[in-house]
């Protein structure tokens, strides 16, 4: 069995998608549709930068999605196969869940781009810059990270945002609490805490205003049943129906990304190969969660052609 996985924020880089678009009209069509949906020259920003503008949450989120979906569409076109022929499950990390839903046909590309633009804008506006932060805890499992977050809160918000793999957990909340957690990391048996260069404290209760904005937008969005099951970040399991997809996407804004459990659960169901589209970060996490699984990262046309030869 095979699962297709889609990366989250941090996977953006100037030049992303450029070579693929030069090699494939299918990729170009994806980027053109996203530009049209957003009424923005996003693909030019992806190709040329500047990096600081591409990194802005409202740009990075739709850009990462567009790059991942372009890679998927090229692979489907070159292989003359549909998603259902190629994989048993899809999943994505944070914003990557939207990419996964788009890949599975639950959301069309235009809707996905607009939702992610709004999601990025809403998350940025939810907390004034500097009031919140996030930190990666290296050498931490979920138990140690949760204990550290609880001890560091001291009346402020400090909670687990991303349970990435058995050795890395990300926490999120008020900046003061995050700084206390970094300082106390070693006391809790954690190798190191690193403040992340993010503009807002994602996946914690401080994102409440963004969750409200997404609830309103998702209520009006057209969703279809996915052609293959989508594993949700909030539950670490397949989403039963369309209404659940809406509800879980809203909960995801303030909830923990249960990536370690999602990958572990897919592996337990028999997934032996995880294929990441448009990035390499998730495959590294997968190897720590399910060491026996095969991982493949598809970014270039050469990657796609090599994958299809072996499929």
Digit-coded pLDDT (tens) for 216-241: 999 999 999 999 999 999 999 999 78
| pLDDT bucket at 306, cuts 50 / 70 / 90 | very high
Task: Please give the residue range of the domain that contains residue 155.
Answer: 132-198
Answer yes or no: do 193 and 101 share one domain. no
The mean pLDDT of the chain is 95
Answer yes or no: do 213 and 70 share one domain. yes
Answer yes or no: do 215 and 76 share one domain. yes
| pLDDT bucket at 199, cuts 50 / 70 / 90 | confident
Answer yes or no: do 236 and 170 share one domain. no
CATH number at residue 296: 3.40.366.10
Query: Please, are residues 166 and 289 in contact by the beta-carbon 8 Å criterion?
Result: yes
pLDDT for 310 beyond 90: no
CATH number at residue 158: 3.30.70.250
- pLDDT of 197 reads 82
pLDDT for 122 beyond 90: yes
Average confidence (pLDDT) over 101-115: 97
Answer yes or no: do 181 and 85 share one domain. no
Beta-carbon neighbour count of residue 311 at 10 Å?
A: 14
Size of the chain in residues: 311
Catalytic residues: 94, 203
Q: How many domains does the chain have?
A: 2
Digit-coded pLDDT (tens) for 5-55: 999 988 889 999 999 999 999 999 999 999 999 999 999 999 998 998 998
Question: CA of 294: how far to CAs of 33, 257, 267, 273, in Å?
Answer: 33, 22, 11, 5
- Give the strand order in the sheet containing 158-165: 158-165, 168-174, 132-138, 192-195
Average confidence (pLDDT) over 86-108: 97
Answer yes or no: do 70 and 164 share one domain. no
Strand bridging mode 89-92 / 230-231: parallel
């Amino acid at each position: 069995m095979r699962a297709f996985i889609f990366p989250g924020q941090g996977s953006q880089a100037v030049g992303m998608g450029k070579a693929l678009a030069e090699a494939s009209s299918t990729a170009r069509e994806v980027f053109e549709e996203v530009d049209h949906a957003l009424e923005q020259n996003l693909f030019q920003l992806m190709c040329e930068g500047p990096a600081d503008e591409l990194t802005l949450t409202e740009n990075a989120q739709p850009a990462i999605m567009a790059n991942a979906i372009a890679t998927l569409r090229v692979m489907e076109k070159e292989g003359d196969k549909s998603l259902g022929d190629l994989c048993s499950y899809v999943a994505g990390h944070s914003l990557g869940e939207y990419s996964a839903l788009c890949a599975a046909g639950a959301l069309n590309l235009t809707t996905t781009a607009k939702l992610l633009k709004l999601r990025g804008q809403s998350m940025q506006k939810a907390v004034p810059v500097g009031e919140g932060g996030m930190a990666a805890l290296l050498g931490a499992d979920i138990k140690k990270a949760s204990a550290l977050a609880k001890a560091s809160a001291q009346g402020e918000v400090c909670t687990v945002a991303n349970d990435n793999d058995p050795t890395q957990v990300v926490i999120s909340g008020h900046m003061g609490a995050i700084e206390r957690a970094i300082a106390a990391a070693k006391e809790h048996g954690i190798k190191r805490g690193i403040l992340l260069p993010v503009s807002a404290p994602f996946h914690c209760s401080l994102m409440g205003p963004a969750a409200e904005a997404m609830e309103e937008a998702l209520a009006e969005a057209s969703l279809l049943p996915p052609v293959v099951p989508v594993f949700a970040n909030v539950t670490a399991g397949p989403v039963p129906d369309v209404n659940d997809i809406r509800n879980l996407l809203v909960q995801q804004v303030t909830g923990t990304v249960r990536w370690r459990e999602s990958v572990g659960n897919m592996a337990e169901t028999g997934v032996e190969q995880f294929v990441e589209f448009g990035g390499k970060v998730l495959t590294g996490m997968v190897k720590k969660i399910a060491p026996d699984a095969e991982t493949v990262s598809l970014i270039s046309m050469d990657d796609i052609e090599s994958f299809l030869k072996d499929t």
